[in-house]
Structure 1
Amino acid sequence: MKYRRFGKTELNISVFSLGLMRCCYSQSQLLSTVAKAFELGINHLELARGYGNSEAYLGRALKELNIPREKVIITTKLTPHEDKNTFSQWLDESLLNLQTDYIDCLAIHGINTPSHLDFIQKTDFLEILNKAKNEGKIKHFGFSSHGSLELIKEAILTDLFEFINIHYYYFFQRNYSVLELAKKLDLGVFIISPADKGGLLYQPSPKLEKLCKPFSPLLLTYRFLLCDRRISTLSLGASNPEELIYPLTVADRDEPLNKKEIDTFNHIENTLKQTLKTDHCSQCYQCLPCPENINIPEILRLRNLGVGLEMTEYAKYRYQMFENAGHWFWGRKGDKCTECGECLPKCPEKLNIPALLADSHDRFKGSARRRLWEN
């Protein structure tokens, strides 16, 4: 296991972190997974008040495993609340559940809209956080975001935070410039769910699997992220001890990509473009805003992957969250397009966007899905 400095927090954090969202339903499940994670060198555990009983389960597990408090870095996430007494109560409940006197890293759970950031800046919410920090209840605070590139940058530039939890993967590089800004301002960077949100890579499509040979799509994407020194740590959402073993075979592989790996990524890109031909979306985002609030670039990204790499299950999984996950996954589905044509002159590639939105909806509509921890 390699370790990296977590930005200005100065914490020495394992390059893989154990995210506890998928093992928050059973004390024994969480206990065995945490025990194996520590055995393999993971020292950072990430969870949230909203993840079932994860905080209480972790508090009991750490006591039972007799892990010294200073040997573990705990990040938990809380959503802001307009009533400061309620938020303070939540924080105290988290400390009680975790059976600890302090939380290493407290993340504001989901600065996903401009109104979220306004609330944090324009109310006395920050006073609550600073008071808790002065009292020693919190060592560091940061935020997670599923919001736009522009919003994430705006939040970073407030200079209020010490770390960020963001989406950034080989198949979603929109937030590339966030990494640059985070490095400039010395923020720790935690990548959210690269195996799952990054492409359902633990069950890749046969086509993607073939394109990646002799590598696996999962380990190849981990290598893509690990070799980027601006990134501090990657979330590993194991639901049992066995799911830790295979990913951690690359836990010490943070050297630059080699020629064969680079050639594989080039092969993937060339295949995408050759398969999609004139329907390929390059993700320039110039089509936004849409008057119907359709997240055009994300839908076309999913179509790129679903059609070009036959990552159909991933495309369905993400597409079916539109209109069902609120600000956690913004935008309306492709069938809401009125063919107004406003996006057409904005597209430098002259894509027939209304037709591609309709095609995406037909391919991926399935049944409505929600976020795992909200089920």
Structure 2
Amino acid sequence: MRYRRFGRTNLNLSVFSLGTMRYLGSAMEAEGVVQRAIALGVNHLETAPAYGPSEAYLGQSLKNLPVSDPLYITTKVLPKGTCEDIMQQVDQSLGRLGRDHLECLALHGLNQPEHLGWLDQGGQGALEAVLASGKVAHIGFSSHGPLEVILAAMENPLFSFVNLHYTYFFQRNAPAIARAREKDLGIFIISPADKGGRLYRPPEKLDQLCQPLSPLHWAYRWLLSQPAIATLSFGPATVAEVDFPLGIADEDGPLTAIEKEILDRLDRVFQALPQGDRCEQCYACLPCPEDIHIPEVLRLRNLTLAYDMQEFGEYRYRMFGQAGHWFPGQPAHTCTECGDCLPRCPSNLEIPRLLQDAHDRLRGPQRRRLWETI
């Protein structure tokens, strides 16, 4: 296991952090996951009240484990409520975790301008009170929101770290990674395996393009080769799923010649898409009058056409119109062909046609999501 400094928190975190969103089976199973991860060198554990019984399971697991090396825990609070609400949530989390303080507390889903407004309307004071209480050492935020919101939040001196989506297949947040490094914020990458492409179950085409590595191995290496990034989340549901990521946790140097060859291969396949079919992800088409997240819809279409990532595309596309600010935008078939986006597209794409094609390719049955209750 390698360890990296987590920005100005000055915590040295394992390059893989145990995310506990998925281990909702049983307390015994959770304890096995935690025990195995710690045995292999993980020292940062990430949880949240919204993750079902995750905090309670984690607290029980740590109570039963003889741990001598330092362990660091991050939990979360939602960006809403009064100072009393926030303090109560922190106290409840501490009780479930069986601890008297936390190393890190993150705002869970600072996704909208309204969440920045909450900070101005008392939220900032509430979080400063938590810090002053000594119950939390460092405060940061996680975001699934627009780059503009993320960059604005980073300018707040309250925050010492940020949890972001950023992978080879989603590089929109690259400017946020650069800005976080400039400001010495700890950088924690969210769900590179699942929301980064469901890379634990890749299509055959992507698997072949990444040989002799697996797509998941290569994607982890692409992130670990970037020294600004401190740690990546991995979320095993069972003990059997712990070992693979941690088996490459010491591979944190620059990309090797073979890995660069894979990168070139992937880039070439994407560039081979016809220009009229390829969205370059400039975001100039937004805002859409019908609230369609055009670049994200077309990114999923890109991945399907270039790498056969159909399952991943369907999985994410089904969330449009269902997940609120956690995954904003309406399904592509709500396009009215108003033409508002067309003159703003530097690639002169036939956006309404591509949106309908994306809908036809990726639509699927609706499914209930964890955050519908948040």
Question: Shorter-chain TM-score: which interval?
Answer: over 0.9
Q: Distance in 1 between matches of 2:101 and 2:197?
A: 35
* Partner in structure 2 of residue 2 of structure 1: 2
Does structure 1 conserve the Cα–Cα contact (< 8 Å) formed by 2:5 and 2:13?
Answer: yes
- Note if 1:74 corresponds to 2:70: no
Q: Distance in 1 between matches of 2:24 and 2:283?
A: 36
Find the partner of 1:330 among 310, 328, 335: 328
Give the alignment's Cα RMSD to 1 decimal: 1.3
* Partner in structure 2 of residue 95 of structure 1: 94
1:371 CA drift (Å): 3.4
Q: Distance in 1 between matches of 2:227 and 2:17?
A: 16
Does structure 1 conserve the Cα–Cα contact (< 8 Å) formed by 2:83 and 2:127?
Answer: no
SS in 1 for 2:242: helix
Does structure 1 conserve the Cα–Cα contact (< 8 Å) formed by 2:112 and 2:149?
Answer: yes
* Partner in structure 2 of residue 46 of structure 1: 46
- Of 18-27 and 1-10, more deviation after overlay is shown by 18-27
- Note if 1:260 corresponds to 2:255: no
- Note if 1:113 corresponds to 2:112: yes
- Note if 1:65 corresponds to 2:51: no
Letter of the 2:256 counterpart? N
SS in 2 for 1:250: coil
Residues 261-340 of structure 1 mapped to structure 2, 5 A cutoff = 261-340=259-338
Does structure 1 conserve the Cα–Cα contact (< 8 Å) formed by 2:83 and 2:125?
Answer: no
Q: Distance in 2 between matches of 1:224 and 1:372?
A: 29
SS in 2 for 1:228: coil
Letter of the 2:20 counterpart? L
1:373 CA drift (Å): 5.3
Structure 1 gaps, min length 5: none
1:297 CA drift (Å): 0.3
Structure 2 gaps, min length 5: none
- Note if 1:151 corresponds to 2:186: no
* Partner in structure 2 of residue 205 of structure 1: 203
Letter of the 1:81 counterpart? K
Does structure 2 conserve the Cα–Cα contact (< 8 Å) formed by 1:21 and 1:373?
Answer: no
Letter of the 2:279 counterpart? C
SS in 2 for 1:4: strand
Does structure 1 conserve the Cα–Cα contact (< 8 Å) formed by 2:323 and 2:371?
Answer: no
Q: Distance in 2 between matches of 1:345 and 1:259?
A: 42
Q: Distance in 2 between matches of 1:31 and 1:373?
A: 24
* Partner in structure 1 of residue 37 of structure 2: 37
* Partner in structure 2 of residue 133 of structure 1: 131
1:370 CA drift (Å): 4.3
1:306 CA drift (Å): 1.1
Q: Distance in 2 between matches of 1:348 and 1:369?
A: 35
Does structure 2 conserve the Cα–Cα contact (< 8 Å) formed by 1:52 and 1:373?
Answer: no
Per-residue Cα deviation, 1:92-122 (whole angstroms, up to 9, x for no partner): 11011101000110000011000111111x2
1:67 CA drift (Å): 2.3
1:80 CA drift (Å): 2.6
Aligned length: 373
1:128 CA drift (Å): 2.2
Residues 18-33 of structure 1 mapped to structure 2, 5 A cutoff = 18-33=18-33
Q: Distance in 2 between matches of 1:348 and 1:367?
A: 34
Q: Distance in 1 between matches of 2:334 and 2:107?
A: 32
Q: Distance in 1 between matches of 2:188 and 2:175?
A: 15
Under a length normalisation based on structure 2, what TM-score does the superposition of the two structures give?
0.97
1:89 CA drift (Å): 1.4
Does structure 1 conserve the Cα–Cα contact (< 8 Å) formed by 2:80 and 2:115?
Answer: no
- Of 227-236 and 363-372, more deviation after overlay is shown by 363-372
Under a length normalisation based on structure 1, what TM-score does the superposition of the two structures give?
0.97
SS in 1 for 2:73: strand
SS in 2 for 1:10: coil
Q: Distance in 2 between matches of 1:195 and 1:229?
A: 19
Runs of 4+ more than 6 Å apart: none
1:262 CA drift (Å): 1.3
Does structure 2 conserve the Cα–Cα contact (< 8 Å) formed by 1:107 and 1:143?
Answer: yes
- Of 95-104 and 20-29, more deviation after overlay is shown by 20-29
Does structure 1 conserve the Cα–Cα contact (< 8 Å) formed by 2:30 and 2:58?
Answer: yes
Find the partner of 1:184 among 182, 185, 188: 182
Q: CA 1:370–1:178 in 2, change beyond 3 Å: closer, same or farther? A: farther
SS in 2 for 1:215: coil
Q: Percent identity?
A: 50
Does structure 1 conserve the Cα–Cα contact (< 8 Å) formed by 2:79 and 2:110?
Answer: no
Q: Distance in 2 between matches of 1:137 and 1:153?
A: 27
Q: Distance in 2 between matches of 1:25 and 1:136?
A: 33
SS in 2 for 1:293: coil
1:126 CA drift (Å): 2.2
- Note if 1:353 corresponds to 2:345: no
Letter of the 1:114 counterpart? P
Does structure 2 conserve the Cα–Cα contact (< 8 Å) formed by 1:321 and 1:370?
Answer: no
Q: Distance in 2 between matches of 1:189 and 1:163?
A: 6
